[in-house]
Structure 1
Amino acid sequence: MTLTELQNLYANSEIVEAVIEPSIQANGWIVEFRHRRGGFVPLTDGAGSEKCYRDIDTATERAFEVGFHQVRIADTF
């Protein structure tokens, strides 16, 4: 989902947690959001491709733009 779509979900309390984790497909970090009904929703561009950031700080800024005030960093490697 795009940043704007995720902001709408946040405003409606549909997403409850922001998670930054290493990208499996690229060298960088992705931002996902845990939906209140379960599962995760990734931050994507307008074409639906998962956004990948070079550093944790930039990825965290995107989560903050959605509306979250804290972010969980997942260590999946």
Structure 2
Amino acid sequence: MTLTELKHLYARQDLVEALVEPSINSGYIVEFRHRGGGLVPLTDITGSEQCYDDVDSATQQAFDVGFQQVRIADEY
């Protein structure tokens, strides 16, 4: 989901947690735990998962959605 779509879900209180974790390729991805279960990744408008070079950049995206705390997953 795009940043805008995720902001709407957050406003409706459908997202309960923000998570930054290492990408399979390189860098970091941002995912959000949905109230109904499962993880929703941050994507671009084409549906491709967004990847960030560092933890700080990825964390900022979760803050932009509205979260004040972000869980950082351990390296693989």
* Shorter-normalised TM range: over 0.9
| Local SS of the residue matching 2:18 | strand
Consecutive unaligned residues in structure 2, runs of 5 or more: none
Amino acid corresponding to residue 6 of structure 1 in structure 2: L
With normalisation by structure 2, the TM-score equals 0.98
2:3 aligns with 3
The 5-angstrom pairing of residues 16-55 of structure 1 reads 16-24=16-24, 26-55=25-54
Report the residue type matching 2:51 in the other structure: C
In 2, distance between residues paired with 1:9 and 1:48? 17
CA–CA separation in structure 1 for the residues paired with 2:16 and 2:75? 20
% identity of equivalent residues: 67
Q: Distance in 2 between matches of 1:8 and 1:76?
A: 30
Deviation at 1:50, TM superposition (A): 0.1
Q: 1:18-47 CA distances to partner (integer Å, 9 max, x unpaired)?
A: 0000001x2100000000011000000000
Instruction: Please report the TM-score for the alignment, with normalisation by the length of structure 1.
Output: 0.96
